[in-house]
Structure 1
Amino acid sequence: MGYLKFTPYIYLIFALYFIYEGMAKWNDPEATPWLSFMIGGLAIFMFFFRRKFAKKMEDRNSKS
């Protein structure tokens, strides 16, 4: 169960990668940088969601 505390940070790594990829595609007229930015934003959202959910589960387990 200890590894579950570190999995939300994988979302941050993905977010940084996709934001970087979007910045790299910005000047290419045939590329779709907005898709990369949306995936990066979704990864950031998932980071905060997973962190909040893990904290909620931890509080629930400590009360039992």
Structure 2
Amino acid sequence: MKYTQYAYLIAAGFLFFDAYSKMNSGTDTPYLSLILGMGAVAMFFFRRKFAKKYDPKNNNQ
């Protein structure tokens, strides 16, 4: 479960590359790929925050 958050970074890298290639081709609009890429980066940080929150080693409560 700890390593699944990095799948979002891999997906974001692919989506940003897809958006970049669409911008250079000039035939498609890259907006959907950019939005999904930003969402994937946001999900990475969201999952990382909650993984640290529920980590038993850091739970001092």
Q: TM-score, normalised by structure 1?
A: 0.81
Which one has a larger percent helix, Structure 1 or Structure 2? Answer: 1
Question: Do structure 1's residue 13 and structure 2's residue 10 form an aligned pair?
Answer: yes
2:52–2:58 Cα contact (<8 Å) kept: no
The unaligned stretches of length 5 or more in structure 1 are: none
Q: How many residues align?
A: 61
The percentage of aligned residue pairs carrying the same residue is 44
In structure 2, stretches of 5+ residues that fail to align are none
Q: Larger deviation: 34-43 or 23-32?
A: 23-32
List 4+ stretches of structure 1 deviating above 2 A: 27-30, 59-64
Given that residues 5 and 44 in structure 2 are in contact (C-alpha distance below 8 angstroms), is that contact kept between their aligned partners in structure 1? yes
Aligned-residue CA RMSD in angstroms? Answer: 2.1
CA separation in 1, counterparts of 2:27 and 2:57? 49
